[in-house]
Chains A and B, each alone.
Chain A
Amino acid sequence: MDDKEQYRQSLRTLLAEALEGSKAESTIGRDFPFEQDLISAGIDSLDLVEFYLRVEDRFKLKIPQDEYHNLRSIDAIFLFITQEVTGRSA
């Protein structure tokens, strides 16, 4: 498994943790598509915010609230993290 795949799997795990106890808990399986729109998948707004907060904690970065609407898939969040990390080291 390459680094990109590991990161995306890690994000999928964080998403599953955010959905624990919510109506959408059954939505996320091991094969949940990375490109899947999270809102279309039935994930509600609080689940999403919790997911973003967990991402912030895990990757030690800040996701501004006005970016939330752009981060609607695991792939989009992966891209955001990559840009943040790249920007930090540049």
Chain B
Amino acid sequence: MTFTELMQNGELRDRYKKVKQFFFLKESAYDVTSICQLRCEGCYYFAGDKYKVKDVKDPERWRTFLQQERARGINYVNLAGAEPSLVPQVLDACFETISMGTVFTNGLKPIASEIGYRIHISVWGDSAGDPLYRPLASGKPGPQCLPQQLKNYKADSRVMFVYTFNENNVTQVDDVLRRIHDEGHKITFNVYSSTVGGTSPLNVGPSLDRIREKMIDAMERYPNTVVYSRYNAEVHTSSSSLRTQFGCPYPRAVEGDQANVGISRTFRSYRADFTHVRQCDCCIPDTDCMNCRHYAAGSAIVTHRLDLHTKSEEAFRGWLDYVDTYLAVWLLGYTKGANLY
């Protein structure tokens, strides 16, 4: 099969044109603070030394910084850190300067409705799992996160819940799905990916097949709630990492002249003091690349390999679903079509 032949199919051509118009997005990642109320088991932020910085708290400095980012072509920001909702003045400054992006939050403190970013709220388990996986920074057992998240973001269309599967919480998603569905929210999936040298009990292994089956079952049971595709489920629960399957375009993983194209050229992962180092320039620094199954990483790793997905109609359908899902998860107002794969 060739690309030209695939474009003869009207259904595939239309979907390709739909998703293609959004590839002008140029993103980078920014830790906006090094503080958080929680110390989640296996947290990526506190895994490395990213938190050992002096935060820039002045909104004016953030405004100037993001103006410089805009000048180098960045038009989409991923605002993470430890917990972005704890620095609302920084979020204001960011939104005023670059209006497209996503905030990654634990959802325990609401983000003002004026901040028109996508909001990804992390979910790590049900009422049994949350206190276990997400203790307070003080070391005390953590709160019931989901009820608080649902209360803070009731009927808020900016929100996308993100359930991170780990080795031990596969069945806990059932209760989470029901509650999110009942509130009219959307949810997508992530797979816990170990940190470099990490020995967290969350690290996935034998459960990958069960996770995939659970993802597909969830899509079938809640088709209007779960934003995902069968192809997403397959590539994120493969025994091989995303990098092994597709290569990785993030600056952290590429060298020499290959770093001059696409996301390899422009993506940076800034710490809360505006510094960045090339060895950490990917969406989740400190992840072990050979175990990377991150939903955020896949948004670049899978989408950039159109060339690998034009060998058959089936493969191309999978790629189209993946990109369509990625845009629905990350772009406020984008509507996902029916899965084609």
> Which A residues are within 8 Å of any B CB, using their own CB?
21-23, 39, 44-50, 52-54, 56-58, 65-66, 68-70, 72
Chain A residues with CB under 8 A of B257: 69-70
B2 contacts partner chain A, Cβ-Cβ < 8 Å:
yes
Chain A residues with CB under 8 A of B261: 39, 45, 48, 68-69, 72
Q: Which of B261, B262, B304 has the most CB of A within 10 A?
A: B261
**In the docked arrangement, what's the CA distance between A70 and B256, Å?**
11
User: How many residues of B are counted as interface, with CB atoms below 8 angstroms from the partner's CB atoms?
Assistant: 23
Chain A residues with CB under 8 A of B303: 46
B251-285 vs A, CB cutoff 8 Å, 1 = contact: the mask equals: 00000011011110100000000000000000000
Contact call B20/A53, Cβ cutoff below 8 A: no
**In the docked arrangement, what's the CA distance between A70 and B308, Å?**
19
Q: Select one of A44, A48, A50, A72 contacting B24, CB under 8 A.
A: A44
Contact call A45/B17, Cβ cutoff below 8 A: no
> Which B residues are within 8 Å of any A CB, using their own CB?
2-4, 17, 20-21, 23-24, 247, 257-258, 260-263, 265, 303-308, 310
Contact call A53/B258, Cβ cutoff below 8 A: no
**In the docked arrangement, what's the CA distance between A52 and B307, Å?**
9
Give A66 Cβ to nearest chain B Cβ, in Å: 7
Contact call A50/B2, Cβ cutoff below 8 A: no
Q: Select one of B17, B263, B306 contacting A49, CB under 8 A.
A: B306
**In the docked arrangement, what's the CA distance between A53 and B2, Å?**
8
**In the docked arrangement, what's the CA distance between A47 and B247, Å?**
19
Give A11 Cβ to nearest chain B Cβ, in Å: 15
**In the docked arrangement, what's the CA distance between A89 and B326, Å?**
44
Q: Which of A23, A39, A53, A70 has the most CB of B within 10 A?
A: A53
Contact call B3/A45, Cβ cutoff below 8 A: no
Given A21-B17, A23-B21, A23-B24: A53 in contact with B262 (beta carbons within 8 A): no
